Each structure stands twice: as C-alpha cells, then as structure tokens.
Amino acid sequence: MVSEVGGNIGLAVPVVLDTDPGIDDAVALMLALASPGEIDLVGISTVGGNIGRQGTFENAHRLLQLFGREGVPVGFGWGVEADTPAARHIHGMDGLGETGLPLSGEPEKIPSVELMARLAAAHAGRLNLVAVGPLTNVAALLREFPESKGQISRIVVMGGAVKRSGNVTPSAEFNIYKDPESAAEVFASGIPLLLVPLDATLKALFPPGRLARFDSLRSPQGEFFRRLLRFHFKASKEALSLEGSFLHDPLAVAALIAPELLKCEPVHCVVETRGEWTRGMTLCDFRHGSKKRKTPNIEVAVDADGEGFLDLLCERLMAFLSNFED
Ligand code: RIB
Ligand code: CA
C-alpha cells in the first residue's frame, strides 16, 4: 500500500495495536481501520485494563466483526483479571458504552505476546507498535522474545502525564499506573518510543456538537459510533463535569497519520515504581541547558493541535463509516 503522508509518498506501515477496549480504544481502532494509506493493521493484542482481559479480548473481536475485518488476528493478553470499577463507569459495563455489540463464535485465544513476536519477525524493521493500554504485554514481549527489540521500528504509547496531574492519582495516568514496572521496562528498552501523554490528549475535547455530522448515517456501524460517543459524553459529564469527551487513544494512532499535530521533544523519562504517593509517575528531565540533564531515552508529545486532531478524526471516521451505508 502506498500512502501520501504529509506530502511524502510512503508505504503504509505495519501496525500492531495493543489495546484494552474501552471506548476511546474503539475509536482508535476505527481511526486505524479508516487510514489504510498510512496504517496496515496487521494485528491486535489485547490487555486487561479498562475492563478485565477476557472482556477486552472479546471486545476487540466484536469491533472487528462489526467492521468486517475478522481477518485481523487478535491476541489474548495479560493484565488485570478483575474489572476496574471506575473504568466500568466511564466505559460501561461491557466496556463499549453498553452498545451491546454481538460476538459470534468462540474466538481462538492466541497469546498476545506470541502474536506480537510473530508479527515483529514477519515485519522486522518496519513494525510500529501502538500501545493504548497498560504495557504488561509489551514488557512481556521484550522479556520473552528479546530479538523483537531489533525488529520493532517504533513504539507509540498513550500514557503518562509529564507536566500536569495524572488522572488516577495527582501524579499518575491510568495506563502507566496499572503496571508501572512494565512501563519502566518498556521506556528503558532502547526501542524508539513516542509517549503521547495527557498533556497532549487533553488538548482535544470532542464536543457533543461535532457528533451531529454523523447523524445522517443509518448503518449499524454509524449507529454504534453515535451510541458509543453519547455514552462517553454522559459518563464524562457525570464523572468529570465535562461537556464532551477526551478521546485519548486515537491521538496515539493519529501520530502515525499526521505527526505534525504533535509537538514533540526528546527527553529522559523514568517511571516511578516505589513512591508511596508517586507510584506510576512519568518523570521527565526537562532541565534544558543544564549540564545535569540526562540523555534522552524517549520522545514525548508535550502539546497537540487539538482542533486539527478532531478535524482529522471526524473526517476519517465519516468517510470510513459512509462505506457501510446502503
Ligand atoms: O488515561 C487514559 C487511558 O486509560 C486510555 O488508554 C483509556 O482507554 C484508559 O485505558
Ligand atoms: Ca486504552
């Protein structure tokens, strides 16, 4: 596949999405499927996070069946067994805004780590791993298949908070907080890594008014998307007094489609794993000009063009969902 990304003719990159669907995870998956010119989705590895790992595994299959992409392999991952009550509140009892998507058949439980290792080898040197849940699977991959470190081109992580408060504790964001040890291992892996933290994702509040653009859709897919977002709007208002939704995960996918939407800088970043009050904190060394500043080990998106991202997201999703209209 050939794509025009930022004016350059390039090949669509092979991507594995490591995810805990989750409403914003579902939107991230839709954006990936809506962008075949830039993204060749070669696999999904699920992880426990927003809801338990059985639920996230089944939800990934539900979404692929809804969008006619059952051919994309799905891994059954590590991570939390038990449900995360707060996340149920934001993502619904089914993790997908109580949209009640059907699941047909008994999906085969390919271990996520084995699937990721197989795809890393098959796409050695080109595979981009987009991780939008806790990093339990990714750390396990790097431990159990160390050769994958030389095969993965880049990891893009939605997680952390670098110059602002977290969303689980004042210092920690959910994906990092759920498994700080794994995050610390992944950040220290030496694989090129772009961190997309709350500092960037909270620049794009999806207002309810933008959903009107999708009102003309009559397909089950269009109806699903509207119900998904309406649930998230309601949950965000009740839990956070917001007029709209912060859709964190699709911004990590957008980094592969329109990198110019993010303001990034190289930085040394570590994850606190022991602090009584700071466990899960992503601590970055922004001491510009200081001789004490540590050598950068990752790139971090310190800002984002929120409106530009929302324009891209709505444009891609409307075109994608229109394909399902009669
Ligand atoms: O903090 C936001 C992250 O936590 C997103 O990935 C969301 O899906 C939840 O997993
Ligand atoms: Ca997620």
**Packing angle of the helix pair 136-144, 112-122 (nearest 10 deg):** 60
- Asked, for residue 8, whether it belongs to a domain, the answer is no
Of ligand 1's listed atoms, the one at least distance from the Cα of 168 is: 1
pLDDT at 82: 62
Q: What value does the mean pLDDT of the chain take? A: 94
- Asked, for residue 4, whether it belongs to a domain, the answer is no
DSSP characters for 104-153?
Answer: -S----EEHHHHHHHHHHHTTTTEEEEE-S-THHHHHHHHH-GGGGGTEE
Average pLDDT over residues 230-259: 97
pLDDT at 2: 42
Of ligand 1's listed atoms, the one at least distance from the Cα of 20 is: 10
Catalytic residue numbers read 248
- Asked, for residue 1, whether it belongs to a domain, the answer is no
Place of tokens 């991780």: 131
- Asked, for residue 292, whether it belongs to a domain, the answer is yes
CATH number, domain with residue 264: 3.90.245.10
The predicted-structure confidence for 56-98, as pLDDT tens digits, reads as follows 999 999 999 999 999 999 999 987 766 666 678 899 999 999 9
CA of 105 to the centre of ligand 1 (A): 28
Our mutation pick for probing the ligand 1 site, out of 17, 25, 59, 89, counting the most ligand atoms within 8 A of Cβ, is 25
- Asked, for residue 118, whether it belongs to a domain, the answer is yes
pLDDT at 11: 82
The predicted-structure confidence for 222-240, as pLDDT tens digits, reads as follows 999 999 999 999 999 999 9
> Residue 291, Cβ neighbours under 10 Å: how many?
5
- Asked, for residue 2, whether it belongs to a domain, the answer is no
Average pLDDT over residues 117-145: 97
**Cβ(18) to ligand 1 under 6 A?**
no
**With pLDDT > 90 as the criterion, what percentage of the chain qualifies?**
92
**With pLDDT > 70 as the criterion, what percentage of the chain qualifies?**
95
The predicted-structure confidence for 256-300, as pLDDT tens digits, reads as follows 999 999 999 999 999 999 999 999 999 999 999 999 999 999 999
> Are 128 and 41 in contact, with CB atoms under 8 Å apart?
no
Cα(130)–Cα(125) distance, integer angstroms: 15
Top pLDDT among 80 and 134 is at 134
Give 3-state DSSP helix, strand, coil % of the chain, rounded to 5: 40, 25, 35
Structural domain range at position 292: 13-322
CA of 28 to the centre of ligand 1 (A): 11
CA of 266 to the centre of ligand 2 (A): 24
- Global pTM? 0.95
- Asked, for residue 5, whether it belongs to a domain, the answer is no
pLDDT at 136: 97
Domain count, the chain: 1
- Asked, for residue 6, whether it belongs to a domain, the answer is no
For residue 272, give Cα distances in angstroms to 179, 181, 316.
11, 8, 37
The predicted-structure confidence for 10-39, as pLDDT tens digits, reads as follows 689 999 999 999 999 999 999 999 999 999
Does the structure show a pLDDT above 80 at 312?
A: yes
> Residue 319, Cβ neighbours under 10 Å: how many?
11
